[in-house]
């Protein structure tokens, strides 16, 4: 199936924004520019007055946590996890995981995200089902809390998830291993995770250095900072690592990140709301580290809106470093798209370029926030919001066109998610 997006203002990998045509053949971008005579599209989308960007890549989230949105706010991480989130999650059923994930799929499609990296569980196969139903690209890991008595069982569930789903849905579903964090996975357990992930050739998704409490707890228990001892477990020596947060880093931590090519998922909204701190993102970028963006779960953010995260990344580091060019608009957008693709292990997404996967978001520029059109990237990052997203394509398939959803039943999802949340939180 061939699709043509005609006369659209496209954000190219070099940051330029020509008005052009995007040709899609099956699930890839076949070309950008003049349309050859022999390109005969079965579908034409009029891109006039629209901005085309790569679909956003949410590099760190917990999709089914949408059910806990607005349930426990204004708390610090460990108080929030121990006293509110984990007791509620313990009551979740397979049905909750599915409908929570479907609510996330709905929100992601509506706000222009086409790929998400998820760490949650149990029943991650229900998240795979939700991603397949929605038509989105999911990078799934079974979150493993190794200190719990059933840590080994969770590790086996992650291995099973990998065996059953890695590469599923024409490659739209991939699987990583998800040891939750250094404070929930002791060294001997992380060694087992590393061995299993390496045996299967799987990557790792882990929370690292999110709060000062985490660093201080590790210093008290092991006499060392987490990055220091986690590196010795072999967890970073396999296929690759996606580390969420990385807020509190010293020089040695950054050397470890560079040595192992660890990719960082920065979550500015969650870090601000949980008062975790400000990650040294400008320094990481300057030192060549791949830094992507994530929302974290909808209980610490409290939404899955990646355009908001792009804006926060650009703004937060300016004020924190008293530097207006700390993260310019286009760099922030790259973090939410191109760097996201690299971070989640899918380098052929996140760019509008020939040969890349056809994951494309169109924003309608017919509103005050987009006027005057001096600089489309600036308008996107500093002025507009995700309400302008009107068309979303993932893997060449149209998931939303002019705000009309093609794969998701919005009314049913909202009803079922509310029903599940009522049981969990009331």
Ligand X SMILES: CSC[C@H]1O[C@@H](n2cnc3c(O)ncnc32)[C@H](O)[C@@H]1O
**CA–CA separation, 360 vs 47, rounded Å?**
12
Which CB sits closer to ligand X, 157 or 253? 157
What's the min distance (Å) between Cβ of 387 and ligand X?
26
Which CB sits closer to ligand X, 12 or 75? 75
The window from 18-26, 81-89, 359-367, 385-393 that contacts ligand X (CB under 6 A) reads 81-89
3-class DSSP state for residue 117? strand
Give yes or no for residue 214 binding ligand X (CB under 6 A).
no
Give yes or no for residue 111 binding ligand X (CB under 6 A).
no
Q: 266-285 mask for ligand X (x: CB under 6 A)?
A: ----x---------------
Give yes or no for residue 118 binding Zn ion (CB under 5 A).
no
**CA–CA separation, 273 vs 286, rounded Å?**
26
Query: Cα–chain-centroid distance for residue 328?
Result: 20
- The distance in angstroms from the start CA to the end CA of the chain is 48
Give yes or no for residue 214 binding Zn ion (CB under 5 A).
no
The window from 195-203, 223-231, 295-303, 369-377 that contacts Zn ion (CB under 5 A) reads 295-303
Q: Which helix (H) or strand (E) element contains residue 306?
A: helix 306-321
Give yes or no for residue 157 binding ligand X (CB under 6 A).
no
Count of residues for the chain?
A: 426
**CA–CA separation, 48 vs 5, rounded Å?**
9
**CA–CA separation, 35 vs 286, rounded Å?**
38
What's the min distance (Å) between Cβ of 183 and ligand X?
9
Which CB sits closer to Zn ion, 151 or 294? 294
The window from 92-100, 293-301, 302-310, 342-350 that contacts ligand X (CB under 6 A) reads 293-301
The window from 148-156, 157-165, 186-194, 292-300 that contacts Zn ion (CB under 5 A) reads 292-300
Annotated binding residue 207? yes
Taking CB positions, which residue lies at the least distance from Zn ion? Answer: 296
Total number of residues that touch ligand X (CB under 6 A): 19
Give yes or no for residue 145 binding ligand X (CB under 6 A).
yes
Contacting residues for 181 by C-beta, under 8 A, at least 6 apart: 206, 207, 208, 210, 214
Strand partners of residue 53: 361
Give yes or no for residue 125 binding ligand X (CB under 6 A).
no
CB atoms within 10 A of CB 286: 9
CA atoms 257, 173, 123, 64: torsion sign: positive
CB atoms within 10 A of CB 368: 7
What's the min distance (Å) between Cβ of 183 and Zn ion?
13
CB atoms within 10 A of CB 425: 15
Q: Which of 21, 115, 218, 300 binds ligand X (CB under 6 A)?
A: 300
Strand order across the 137-144 sheet = 56-61, 113-120, 137-144, 173-179, 203-208, 241-245, 263-266, 291-293
Instruction: Decide the pairing of beta strands 173-179 and 137-144.
Output: parallel
CA atoms 300, 305, 308, 312: torsion sign: positive
Residue 379, contacted partner among ligand X, Zn ion, none, CB below 5-8 A by kind: none
Taking CB positions, which residue lies at the least distance from ligand X? Answer: 143
Q: Which of 180, 205, 209, 263 binds ligand X (CB under 6 A)?
A: 180
Give yes or no for residue 296 binding Zn ion (CB under 5 A).
yes
CA angle 156, 162, 168 (to 5 degrees): 150
Total number of residues that touch Zn ion (CB under 5 A): 1
Give yes or no for residue 179 binding ligand X (CB under 6 A).
no
Annotated binding residue 320? no
CB atoms within 10 A of CB 207: 27
Give yes or no for residue 297 binding ligand X (CB under 6 A).
yes
Instruction: Decide the pairing of beta strands 50-54 and 360-364.
Output: antiparallel
Q: Which residues are annotated as a binding site?
A: 60, 62, 89, 142, 180, 207, 210, 296
| Residues at the interface with Zn ion (CB under 5 A) | 296
| Residues at the interface with ligand X (CB under 6 A) | 62, 65, 77, 81, 85, 89, 119-121, 143, 145, 180-181, 207, 210, 270, 296-297, 300
Q: Which residues are annotated as a binding site for Zn(2+)?
A: 60, 62, 207, 296
Q: Which residues are annotated as a binding site for substrate?
A: 89, 142, 180, 210, 296
């Amino acid at each position: 199936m061939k699709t043509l997006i005609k006369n659209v203002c496209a954000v190219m990998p070099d940051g330029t924004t020509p008005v052009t045509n995007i040709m899609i053949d099956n699930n890839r971008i076949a070309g950008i520019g003049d349309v050859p005579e022999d390109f005969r599209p079965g579908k034409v989308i009029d891109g006039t007055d629209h901005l085309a960007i790569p679909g956003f890549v949410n590099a760190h989230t917990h999709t089914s946590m949408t059910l806990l949105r607005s349930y426990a706010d204004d708390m610090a991480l460990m108080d929030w996890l121990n006293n509110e989130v984990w007791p509620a999650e313990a009551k979740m059923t397979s049905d909750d995981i599915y409908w929570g994930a479907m609510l996330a799929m709905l929100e992601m499609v509506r706000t222009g995200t086409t790929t998400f990296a998820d760490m949650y569980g149990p029943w991650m196969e229900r998240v795979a089902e939700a991603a397949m139903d929605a038509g989105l690209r999911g990078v799934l890991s079974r979150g493993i809390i190794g200190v719990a008595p059933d840590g080994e069982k969770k590790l086996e569930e992650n291995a099973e998830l990998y065996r059953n789903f890695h590469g599923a849905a024409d490659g739209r579903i991939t699987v990583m291993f998800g040891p939750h964090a250094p404070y929930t996975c002791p060294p001997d357990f992380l060694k087992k995770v590393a061995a299993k992930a390496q045996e299967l050739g799987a990557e790792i998704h882990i929370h690292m250095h999110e709060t000062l409490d985490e660093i201080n707890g590790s210093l008290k228990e092991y006499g060392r900072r987490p990055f220091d001892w986690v590196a010795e477990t072999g967890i970073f020596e396999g296929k690759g690592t996606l580390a969420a947060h990385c807020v509190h880093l010293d020089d040695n931590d950054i050397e470890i990140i560079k040595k192992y090519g660890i990719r960082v998922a920065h979550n500015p909204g969650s870090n601000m709301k949980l008062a975790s701190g400000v990650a040294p993102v400008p320094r990481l970028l300057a030192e060549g580290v791949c830094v992507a963006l994530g929302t974290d779960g909808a209980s610490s953010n409290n939404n899955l809106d990646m355009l908001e995260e792009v804006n926060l990344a650009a703004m937060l580091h300016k004020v924190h470093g008293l530097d207006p060019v700390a993260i310019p608009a286009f760099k922030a957008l790259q973090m939410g798209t191109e760097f996201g693709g690299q971070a989640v292990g899918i380098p052929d997404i996140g760019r509008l370029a020939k040969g890349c996967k056809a994951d494309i978001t169109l924003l309608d520029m017919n509103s005050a926030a987009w006027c005057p059109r001096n600089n489309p990237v600036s308008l996107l990052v500093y002025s507009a919001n995700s309400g302008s997203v009107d068309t979303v394509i993932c893997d060449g398939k149209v998931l939303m066109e002019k705000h009309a959803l093609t794969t998701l039943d919005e009314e049913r999802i909202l009803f079922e998610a509310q029903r599940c949340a009522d049981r969990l939180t009331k």
